[in-house]
Structure 1
Amino acid sequence: MIVADLHLHSTCSDGVLSPAELVKQAALRGIRWIALTDHDTTEGYGEAFHSGHQFGVTVIPALEVTCFELGQELHVLGYGVAVDDPRLREHARTARQRRLRRLERMVAHCRRLGLWISMEEVADHSPGLMYGRPHLAAALVSRGYCATVQEAFSRYLEPGRPAYEPPEPFPVVRALGLIHATGGRAVLAHPRRTFCSPRLLLSLIRQGFDGIETFHPSHGPELRAYYASFARCHRLLMTGGSDFHGTRPYDERNLGTVGLTAEQMNALAERLVVCC
């Protein structure tokens, strides 16, 4: 039975549920531990924490740092960070600026393709201050250019598609430094999406990661077993979660079914300092 989901996104980044509603939905599915891992921000932690008290859910302070180096996007989960640290607030501010510049370029690409989208329309689809590709996709659907968000991504917004723009560079070592400096543990998110080569995975882990996301919707049973063995061999933390955003057809199915069992969460808690 899954009791912990340590990879969730709210309206503070690119999810559709508020932090409080996300905690409630997790509790209704029997989840007792969560981590709100919004992209590059801990803004939603306070709301989630108070909702956790109401529903009996422990909320681990966390975020997911977006990195881009050598032409590749990687995500680093940070658990147990000091959410009020000014370095995290400054990171959130500069990350918003990078995302905004990227989105402006993508909107310009869309307009050159005859897709008459404005930044104001994209902002209308974001309940918070963090804009991203899901909000641009929603604007394309609202305009009738695409039937679904998934179609908008596959036709225009994925790498190699005509409106795609890569993120601005942000190296992994900076993410690791930020997370460690603010008291957290750094975990490589959904490695299957990024690495097929064990050699590349090992070289990345040796940069200073504390753990690896073993359980993720993109990992089948064999891959989960492989990453679990890899983590044990290299004395890494093992985490897991649904990566819930609420924008994809499978999100509802994964919430409450992908994550950690009580035994796995207890083993993680022994090594993870949880400030909550």
Structure 2
Amino acid sequence: MPHVSSDVTRTARPRHYLMCRPTHFTVDYSINPWMDPTKPTDTDFAIAQWEQLHTLFLRLGHTVELIEPVPGLPDMVFAANGATVVDGRVLVACFHHPERTGEAPAYAEWFRARGYPQVHRAEFSNEGEGDYLVVGERILAGTGFRTDRRAHAEAQRVLGREVVTLELVDPRYYHLDTALAVLSDTEIMYYPGAFSAGSLGTLEELYPDAVLATAEDAAVFGLNAVSDGRRVVLPEAAVGLAEALRERGFEPIGVDVTELLKAGGSVKCCTLELRGARARAGC
């Protein structure tokens, strides 16, 4: 791997996020390997951890808006799955599992109510930024477990960005954002073991300087991270990744969202980025 100097000057850019308080968080069904309904969950603890993350984003200078949680939709806290927003254009998710299908209308209504002029309901299953990660002018798009491969062409048409398909092969990393994180407009970090051989070759060609995660850091959802170009918010247990990021000149900030990990989500899952000009009628 080519050496990247820690002397690189990193610039943080204020971001605009959408989040959903885990008011109704629990694990009473299983749609990924992390979910075990027989293990107890603590909703109050999940809320406390989420509030720390929410407060951290505000302290870092980011704008955070909230969508109202809907009773009976415990996974709605994972706002990243609700849509993908590029240049103000919104592609609303079409969830793979019936347990989550009720989230899509709630997110569509949220965007319409705030005056977003282009709110598209997806034809093929996609789970928002769970599987669509924007890297500069390119969208890396996951498939294999949740997002239909045919949805990638739809995303390219609706969002107006080049889409690169990446196949996930490890069911523990069922969304792209559990196996890969965007660090800047040109840099990423990822876990090689989550990808097919062909997709791994694509990543190595496009991002030869990428930070590579160990199996240990991937298993604590260290790649489910959010970067503003300098500060990288990630699970505190991902100590190897944190050190690798420091060596690249980033500022890692560890947080504890382990209660939410019981449902297979972490920092990025809770955070949907709203890219582009704000809607004129927005709040």
TM-score between the two structures when normalised by the length of structure 2 = 0.30
TM-score between the two structures when normalised by the length of structure 1 = 0.30
Larger-gyration structure (1/2) = 1
Structure with greater proportional helix content: 1
